[in-house]
Amino acid sequence: MQDPARHILQSIEALIFASEEAITFQTICQVTGFDLKYRDLEEIVEALNREYEATGRTFRIHGIAGGFRFLSQPEHGDLIRKLLAPVIQRRLSRSMLEVLSVVAWHQPVTRGEIQQIRGVSPDYAIDRLLERSLIEVRGRADSPGRPLQYGTTREFLDLFHLPSLKELPKLREIREILQEHEEQQYLSAAGGDEPPEIGQTGELQETE
């Protein structure tokens, strides 16, 4: 008969492995029926990661977006980016990534405010980001017309492997993120324009 503790450990490992997004503590308890405390789950994850480290595995379990997910080790990042570049390109166009960056660092933010920062209409990108559940409506602004305000979602945190919004890079690092996206476009043979410049205020500006 299998050791009960080992059964719990392997069950949780299987759920985290099978989930396409960060799986929460509540979901793990609901699916498994295990009577766990959050600290119990953290200890199980730590035990699994020790096994992966001891056996030289190229992945670990990380806490992101309010849940847990398998992520590859940083030293394999360049190789995996080459594999995933076409997928990333299909999911997020350059304009969508720029609008998503503005929403992330200025939320809650309206369409008009996004357009003022970028200099072009964000309507198409906002609609696509809403469809992908990367942003959501957060309410209405106290300004004429009461325009909708937008903010990022848990799916956004999961996509960018962020534990919380507190882990967002500083505004000055937006350029690096956009440049990395341009590299992904190059790797996927999609080409692309030069990344937008970032002004001294930290705002995105379209290049000529």
pLDDT tens digits for range 39-97: 999 999 999 999 999 999 999 999 887 889 998 888 887 787 777 665 555 556 778 88
Q: What is the pTM of this model?
A: 0.49
Mean pLDDT, rounded, for 13-30: 90
The hierarchical CATH code for the domain 4-72 is: 1.10.10.10
pLDDT at residue 195 above 50? no
Which listed CATH number (3.40.50.300, 3.30.470.20, 1.20.1730.10, 1.10.10.10) goes with 78-205?
A: 1.10.10.10
CA angle 59, 65, 71 (to 5 degrees): 10
Which of the pair, 160 or 10, is modelled with greater confidence? 10
State the amino acid at position 66 in one-letter form. G
- Report in angstroms the alpha-carbon separations of 77 from 15, 59, 72, 81, 82: 24, 11, 7, 6, 9
DSSP string of the chain? ---HHHHHHHHHHHHHHH-SSPBPHHHHHHHH-----HHHHHHHHHHHHHHHHHTT-SEEEEEETTEEEEEE-GGGHHHHHHHHHHHHHHH--HHHHHHHHHHHHH-SEEHHHHHHHHSS--HHHHHHHHHTTSEEEEEE-SSTT--EEEEE-HHHHHHTT-SSGGGPPPGGGHHHHHHHHHHHHHHTT---PPPPEE-TTS-EE---
Cα 64 from Cα 62, distance rounded (Å): 6
- Measured between alpha carbons, how far apart are the two ends of the chain, in Å? 69
- 172 pLDDT band, cuts 50/70/90, is low
| Ranges of CATH 1.10.10.10 domains, the chain | 4-72, 78-205
pLDDT tens digits for range 100-157: 888 998 999 999 999 988 888 888 889 889 988 889 999 998 888 889 999 999 888 8
